[in-house]
Structure 1
Amino acid sequence: MSDVSFLGGGSFGTALGIMLGKKGLDVSIWDRKPSVVEDINIKKENIKYLPNVVIPSNVKAYSDIEHVIKNSKFIVLCVPSHAVREICRKIKGKLRDDQVIINISKGIEQETKKRLSEVIKSELPHNHVVALSGPSHAEEVAMDIPTTAVVTSENMEYAALVQDLFMTSKFRVYTNDDIVGIEIGGAVKNIIALAAGISDGIGYGDNTKAALMTRGMSEIIRIGVKLGGKRETFYGLTGMGDLIVTCTSMHSRNRRAGILIGKGIPMEEACKEIGMVVEGIKACKAFYELKSNLSVPMPITDMLYKVLFQNKDPKYGVYELMTRDRKSEFY
């Protein structure tokens, strides 16, 4: 029996598992890759996704997903956004109603444009769902570097339970009842981080990145409020906080992929070099379609879409952004 199960042995799920293991909880990690399971159990290290970090003995990995979820009170979904529905269907019918689902993925579903908590509830309607988000790179969480995060749910009683679960002296967790704002902020910031990385790859400087982050924040707020989020949420951890860390850190796979694209490397090759899912690419396509249906102006997202999917030269894209019609800073 484990206290917490993690479905997906990626970097962030492993880092959180390590943190809870140090806290004294029994942790199970499921992963589809036998090599990841073997490394965690035998070498006590996730060599593929989180190298050079020792995994506590009370954190164990398995290839049998039913065994992992059987007795856990909390089940953490650690798969990319596009795999959330698939993993929910994999465990559907195998859960008790009192098991709490915690989602740490950031994005929206490409086909339906649903937020991930909506995707989870559509497949697992009897389980309470909590989302955890915020500026929290796995590499730093695993090294006990002070980090803050935020949790949200349609039932805040369960958000408070998850807050208590993850709180440590190095990982401070806040609650926020704006589930729409939390999820949208966490998804759109990846688009802006990818654009910021492209700017770095081209060779532009701090002025350009500051402009992208600030005007990108406007896009996050604009689409987030339109979808029902609260404006103040986007000035918090899941908006401004996550935007800052993702646009400026080399831990950010979105920024690193953007740097490669800005240097002229094709998108597919850039993603292959990163070796993990670059959520900003999927988010850009999804929000480009969504904002068009909602008539929400998102010029950075527009231009990034053209760079990624229509082969627009990034430098010319910046030129077009800079030479648009004059306007006031605030609508």
Structure 2
Amino acid sequence: MAGRMPSVAVLGGGSWGTTVASLAARNTDTVLWARDPATVADINDNHRNSRYLNDLPLTEALRATAELAEAVGKADVIVLGVPSQHSRSVLEQVAEHVRPWVPVVSLVKGLEQGTRKRMTEIVNEILPGHPAGVLAGPNIAREVVQGYAAAATIAMPEQQQASMLQDLFRTTRFRVYTTTDVIGVEYAGSLKNVFAIAVGIGDGLEAGDNTRAMVITRALRELTRLGVALGGQADTFAGLSGMGDLIATCTSPLSRNRTVGVGLAQGKSLDQIAQEMNQVAEGVKTVATVMKLAAERGIDMPIAREMDAVINHGQPVEDTYRGLLRKAPGHEVHGEEW
């Protein structure tokens, strides 16, 4: 790859996969794989992804294909942007076409159901020898496509790998920082979705700004404690992929997981909300996995527990904040109480 920028194949034609592909296409040869032929045609003919990004223009150099082998066969870098529940099957199809040692960068902010594995763990399992990392941060896709200033962190097992890959996605308005804490960045991106649903419920119930700030702050404490227990570095959770992503996901009207919470507070069912959004909110599937991970490590997560009760056990949303406020607070930093 010396002497030229590595070529990129982005797998997934959703809002964020398309956005990252559009960013990369500014810097290097980039192809996006999407299942939907209509999405492929829209990107190639109109330089739009109307299904997910309305009429926002994409980088004209971006190409799209519905053929997976065509997308990955000559790629120097693979970017995984499909929902977590489909990632394993897509990677299994990629395995027979991708060249050896090609890095894989995940955009997926979720954990695999059943195995509870992070996406990079699945990459290592299916594509051994391929360096696996993650790109994450406070990134609302539509705002990035529109050119608003934003930033993300790319985490790879080796710093040299992260430094090489950051230039693929960096633009004058999209800053990309580096780290080697793959575990921390990946868990931060997955865990924050659960708490965005909690904030959405509060907003839907008109609980107020003070309550929102309280829940976000204590949510950061919860996800940091679990993330560190799972092998992440504490500083990571105070950075872009932790606090930054948590704030954006909990407060933006464009956040899918916050939208789920607002919808639940309005009396809508999860199926109805999913149909209206036409996109996947990873936090809905992640919450049960989070509770299992927390139980195994003896981590008390009251906010996540309330979300599990609402989503998986039929608890009325009106009882969510009552349950939280019944707990007596302890020391803000050192106490285990909420």
- TM-score range relative to shorter protein: over 0.9
> Which of 236, 241, 245 is the aligned partner of 1:242?
245
Moved over 3 A (4+): none
For 1:21 and 1:310, the matched residues in 2 are separated by: 44
Cα displacement string for residues 257-310 of structure 1 (whole angstroms, at most 9, x for unaligned residues)? 111111111122112211100111111111012212222100000011001111
2:159 aligns to what? 156
Corresponding residue number in structure 1 for 2:301: 298
Does residue 21 of structure 1 match 2:25? yes
How far did residue 172 of structure 1 move? 0.7
**193, 196, 199: which one pairs with 2:199?**
196
Task: Tell me the distance in 1 between the aligned counterparts of 2:197 and 2:119.
Answer: 21
Matches within 5 A, 1:177-326: 177-326=180-329
Distance 1:326 1:179 in 2: 32
Of 165, 173, 181, which residue of structure 2 is paired with 1:170?
173
Identity of aligned residues (%): 35
**5+ residue gaps, structure 2:** 1-5
**May I ask how many residue pairs the two structures share in their alignment?**
329
- CA–CA separation in structure 1 for the residues paired with 2:324 and 2:318: 10
Alignment of 1:35-46 (within 5 A): 35-46=38-49
* Aligned counterpart, 1:103: 106
Q: Which blocks of at least 5 consecutive residues in structure 1 are unaligned?
A: none
Select the residue among 3, 11, 22 that pairs with 1:7: 11
- Work out the CA distance in 1 between the residues paired with 2:290 and 2:220: 14
Letter in 2 for 1:6: V
**In the TM superposition, what is the alpha-carbon distance from 1:327 to its structure 2 partner?**
2.2
User: Which of these residues, 134, 137, 153, is aligned with residue 137 of structure 2?
Assistant: 134
1:61 match: 64
Cα distance in 1 for residues equivalent to 2:329 and 2:7: 56
The answer to whether the aligner puts 1:143 opposite 2:146 as a matched pair is yes
User: How far does the alpha carbon of each residue in 1:60-92 deviate from its partner, in whole angstroms, 9 at most, with x for none?
Assistant: 111110011111111111101121111110111
Structure 1 residue 198, shift from structure 2 partner: 0.8
Q: Which moved more, 1:51-60 or 1:219-228?
A: 51-60
Q: Is the 8 A contact 1:130 1:158 kept in 2?
A: no
Q: Is the Cα–Cα contact under 8 Å of residues 130 and 162 in structure 1 kept in the other structure?
A: no
Distance change (3 Å), C-alpha of 1:56 and 1:329: closer
What displacement does 1:183 show?
0.8
Q: Deviations over 1:14-45 (max 9, x none)?
A: 1122222233x222111111111111122221
Work out the CA distance in 2 between the residues paired with 1:191 and 1:71: 37
SS at match of 2:52: coil
- The alpha-carbon deviation at position 149 of structure 1 amounts to 0.5
The answer to whether the Cα contact below 8 Å between 1:201 and 1:262 also exists between their aligned partners in 2 is yes
d(CA) in 1 for partners of 2:101, 2:125: 17
CA offset digits 1:178-234 (Å, max 9, x no partner): 111111111111111111001111121111111110110111111011111111111
Distance, in Å, in 1 between the alignment partners of 2:257 and 2:224 is: 20
TM-score, normalised to structure 1, is 0.96
Partners of 1:200 and 1:56 in 2: CA distance: 35
Q: What is the deviation of 1:98? A: 3.4
Paired residues of 1:40 and 1:61 also in contact (CA < 8 A) = yes
* 1:159 Cα deviation from its structure 2 partner: 1.2
What letter is aligned with 1:77? L
Give the residue type in structure 2 aligned to 1:5.
A
2:161 partner letter? Y
Contact 2:23/2:170, CA 8 A, preserved across alignment: no
Instruction: Please report how far the alpha carbon of residue 150 of structure 1 lies from its aligned counterpart in structure 2 after TM superposition.
Output: 0.4
Preserved contact between residue 23 and residue 59 of structure 2 (Cα < 8 Å): no
Aligned to 1:327: 330
TM-score scaled to structure 2, two decimals?
0.94
